[in-house]
């Protein structure tokens, strides 16, 4: 109950001394979809700043193109479907920014547009718009781009802060180096973001600032990021303890690749995560386990995207079977 009443109006409306009997809800919140969405956009500013710092203005261009294409697709789809326009609610902006964050800096501009159009068009509007989508639209857009341009989505460059002689140097991400060459990256570089990788995923520090801000605002349920990161650290830790020479440490798991961005901005997506506490634990812990399994034993170096998309598919089931029993309801009543 405490969670639901945050920002509640507190005292009821002035009833002029009358006792009014009405049906629920009795507490109203000042939170609105645009309010929450704009806070999320604000929370992504540190990560955006970090991506511009490490990868140059190309990162800003990527975000601008993705947001523009997302808004345009949302507008076009809602026009075709004769639905009210929801551009102002900011959800398409978030999808655009998140999609740009998960792509390599040197990705072609047409790819940004294609991914955004797929994310909003197929991932969100075909399911019925905001609130009805089964999968996280940004991740679905990235999965589509991964299948469409398998080479371009896995070609990385060094951040420009690394001293070098030529313009752009192709490089391996910390996860790919760990998987294919057995090399570990210094944790400090991972924490600050001074490594090759997707634009908005490299800086753990910047993402943490945004994530904790959202937690402070009460828009993130702490179970989801904690369950996801905790599960990655736990299961990653088991393998690390069993063979420290072969498997990376839990800290490496948490700071490399998309773990932080996924945990704070994608696992916590209000539409595509379960609503019950038990369901949220199952969702987050299973997704974390899957990410570790894909990273250590799968064909891909990174498993965050598929782990979240995979668990997204289970959300309706989790919601159905973890529903708390209503007070007074019989044990077997269903």
Partner 1 sequence: MADGTHSLWYEFKKGLWQDIPPFRLVLGTCPTLAVTNSVINGISMGLATLFVLLGSNIIISAVRRYVAPQVRIAAYVVIIALLVTVADMFLAAKFPAISKALGPYVPLIVVNCIILGRAEAFAQKNPVLPSIMDALGIGIGFTLSLATMGSIRELLGFGSLLKFKILPGAWFEPWIVMILPAGAFLVFGTLIALVNYISAKKAAGTETH
Q: Which residues bind partner 1 (CB under 8 A)?
A: 108, 110-111, 122, 144, 147-150, 152
Nearer to partner 1, 57 or 147 (CB): 147
| DSSP per-residue letters across 67-92 | HHHHHHHHHHHHHHTT----GGGSHH
Largest CA distance in the chain: 79
Smallest separation (angstroms) from partner 1 to the CB of 107 = 11
Smallest separation (angstroms) from partner 1 to the CB of 267 = 24
Nearer to partner 1, 150 or 244 (CB): 150
Smallest separation (angstroms) from partner 1 to the CB of 152 = 7
Smallest separation (angstroms) from partner 1 to the CB of 139 = 15
Strand partners, 171: 156
| DSSP per-residue letters across 283-299 | HHHHHHHHHHHHHHHSS
Tokens linked to 259: 């773990």
Task: Please classify residue 189 by burial: count the beta carbons closer than 10 Å to its beta carbon, then call 0-12 exposed, 13-18 middle and 19+ buried.
Answer: middle
Nearer to partner 1, 33 or 152 (CB): 152
Nearer to partner 1, 27 or 310 (CB): 310
Q: Rounded CA gap, 193 and 208, in Å? A: 12
Q: Do residues 157 and 222 lie in contact, with contact meaning Cβ atoms separated by under 8 Å? A: no
**H or E element, residue 171:** strand 170-171
Tokens linked to 62: 């990527």
Smallest separation (angstroms) from partner 1 to the CB of 119 = 14
The verdict on whether omega for the bond into residue 25 sits within 30 degrees of 0, i.e. cis, is yes
The structure tokens 């501009």 sit at 109
Smallest separation (angstroms) from partner 1 to the CB of 223 = 32
């Amino acid at each position: 109950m405490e969670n639901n009443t945050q920002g509640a109006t507190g005292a009821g409306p002035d009833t002029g001394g009358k006792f009014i009997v009405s049906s629920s809800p009795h507490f109203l919140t000042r939170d609105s979809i645009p309010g929450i969405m704009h806070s999320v956009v604000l929370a992504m500013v540190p990560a955006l700043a970090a991506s511009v710092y490490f990868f140059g203005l190309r990162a800003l261009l990527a975000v601008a193109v993705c947001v523009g294409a997302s808004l345009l697709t949302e507008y076009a789809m809602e026009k075709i479907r004769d639905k009210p326009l929801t551009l102002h609610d900011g959800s398409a902006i978030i999808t655009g920014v998140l999609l740009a964050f998960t792509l390599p800096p040197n990705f072609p501009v047409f790819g940004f547009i294609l991914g955004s159009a797929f994310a909003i068009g197929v991932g969100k509007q075909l399911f019925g718009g905001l609130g009805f989508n089964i999968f996280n639209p940004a991740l679905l857009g990235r999965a589509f781009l991964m299948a469409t341009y398998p080479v371009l989505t896995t070609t990385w460059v060094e951040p420009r802060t690394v001293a070098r002689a030529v313009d752009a140097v192709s490089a391996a991400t910390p996860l790919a180096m760990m998987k294919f060459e057995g090399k570990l990256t210094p944790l400090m570089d991972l924490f600050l973001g001074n490594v090759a990788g997707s634009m908005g995923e490299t800086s753990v520090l910047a993402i943490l600032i945004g994530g904790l801000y959202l937690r402070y605002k009460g828009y993130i349920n702490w179970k989801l990021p904690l369950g996801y990161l905790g599960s990655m650290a736990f299961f990653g830790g088991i393998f690390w303890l069993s063979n420290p020479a072969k498997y990376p440490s839990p800290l490496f798991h948490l700071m490399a690749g998309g773990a932080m961005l996924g945990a704070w901005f994608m696992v916590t997506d209000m539409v595509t995560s379960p609503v019950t506490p038990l369901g949220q634990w199952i969702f987050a812990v299973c997704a974390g386990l899957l990410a570790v399994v894909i990273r250590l034993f799968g064909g891909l170096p990174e498993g965050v995207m598929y782990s979240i998309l995979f668990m997204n598919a289970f959300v309706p089931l989790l919601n159905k079977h973890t529903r708390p029993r209503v007070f007074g309801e019989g044990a077997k009543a269903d």
